[in-house]
């Protein structure tokens, strides 16, 4: 560190499993985030007297939805032309070089796509097991906030999705790319998501005042994607076509989620249910 500037040059690979297969901080922190998210959601299920078996099934849906949605979101939101021409690279960790493919690992996951994927997966789960969608996402939301926190720490360890140059004393030089002090936008997001997790946890613990179904989920959408929208102003564009745009793709994709969140926060439960309905009334 020099004059408040942090010089960051951490190898993103913790160790090599084989000569071609790395074990990276990003994947490690991604898994930690998902595990912690599961732990917190499990506590909510126990508090609400819901069979843990229901959660075990749901987690499988959420995990698949997160990975597929985040990968498809990155490919289709940011580089649709390339990936539609090279469809094998969407779901396989390979890249075409000339006439052959080489293993390189996945080069991009989009949080907006991950959110859509998770919601789609939960919707399928709720339809299959006859669960109420808004009750389910209200519980999952708190775990999602802590998972997102660790994923952004993983981005920091990878020296990726960093911010624009800054003259502030909190700048970080990502030496693997250049020697320019930049906004550590990964940390901005990580700390924002951690704060959101704390806020939602406090609200959930206040069980004296019943909460309409979808209220916590709506608040989550508003807080998380508002933070994302603001932080994007400090972030470098992810793809070339964003250069001429007034707001970038991340901000455009955040707007619908904020609107949906506001609608849910102002929605009155149509069936009179609330987030803490006893388990005997859930399968309706």
Half-sphere exposure of 53 (CA within 13 A, CB side): 3
For residues 55 and 45, is the Cβ–Cβ distance under 8 A?
A: yes
Is residue 162 a part of any domain in this protein? yes
* Overall domain count for the chain: 1
Q: Choose among 36, 283, 28: nearest CA to 158.
A: 28
Query: Is 246 within a domain?
Result: yes
Q: Look up the domain containing 142 and give its range.
A: 6-281
**Which is it for the CA torsion 217, 48, 50, 142, positive or negative?**
positive
218-227: b or e for each residue (b if 16 or more CB lie within 10 Å)? bbbbbbbbbb
In a domain, 195, yes or no: yes
Asked if residue 20 is part of any domain, the answer here is yes
pLDDT at 206: 77
Tens digits of pLDDT across the chain (284 residues): 666 789 999 999 999 988 777 888 988 998 999 999 999 999 988 988 888 888 989 999 998 998 899 889 888 888 888 888 888 778 776 677 777 766 665 567 788 898 999 999 999 999 998 999 999 999 999 999 999 999 999 999 999 989 999 987 789 999 999 999 999 999 999 999 999 999 999 988 876 667 788 999 999 999 999 999 999 999 988 777 777 788 988 899 999 999 999 999 987 654 445 555 544 344 33
Structure tokens at 202: 């406090």
CB 228 within 8 A of CB 185: no
CA pair distance 158, 176, nearest whole angstrom: 10
Residue 1 lies in a domain: no
Question: Are 61 and 121 within 8 A, CB to CB?
Answer: yes
pLDDT for the residue numbered 234: 94
Residue 282 confidence (pLDDT): 40
| pLDDT of res. 89 | 79
Is residue 232 a part of any domain in this protein?
A: yes
């Amino acid at each position: 560190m020099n004059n408040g500037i942090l010089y960051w040059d951490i190898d993103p690979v913790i160790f090599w499993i084989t000569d071609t297969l790395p074990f990276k901080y990003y994947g490690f922190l991604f898994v930690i985030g998902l595990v912690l998210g599961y732990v917190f959601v499990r506590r909510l299920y126990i508090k609400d007297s819901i069979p843990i078996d229901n959660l075990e099934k749901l987690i499988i849906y959420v995990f698949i939805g997160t990975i597929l949605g985040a990968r498809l979101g990155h490919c289709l939101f940011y580089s649709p032309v390339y990936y539609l021409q090279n469809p094998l690279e969407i779901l396989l960790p390979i890249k075409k070089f000339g006439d052959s493919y080489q293993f390189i690992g996945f080069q991009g996951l989009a949080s907006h796509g991950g959110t859509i994927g998770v919601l789609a997966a939960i919707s399928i789960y709720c339809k299959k097991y006859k669960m109420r969608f808004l009750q389910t996402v209200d519980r999952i939301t708190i775990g999602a906030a802590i998972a997102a926190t660790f994923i952004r720490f993983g981005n920091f360890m990878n020296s990726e999705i960093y911010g624009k140059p800054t003259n502030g004393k909190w700048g970080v030089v990502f030496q693997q790319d250049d020697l320019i002090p930049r906004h550590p936008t990964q940390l901005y997001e990580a700390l924002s998501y951690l704060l959101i997790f704390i806020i939602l946890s406090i609200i959930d613990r206040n069980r004296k005042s019943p909460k309409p179904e979808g209220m916590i989920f709506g608040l989550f959408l508003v807080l998380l994607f508002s933070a994302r929208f603001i932080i994007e102003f400090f972030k470098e564009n992810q793809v070339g076509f964003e250069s001429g745009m007034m707001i970038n793709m991340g901000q455009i994709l955040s707007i619908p989620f904020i609107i949906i969140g506001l609608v849910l926060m102002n929605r009155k439960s149509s069936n009179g249910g609330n987030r803490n309905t006893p388990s005997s009334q859930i399968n309706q």
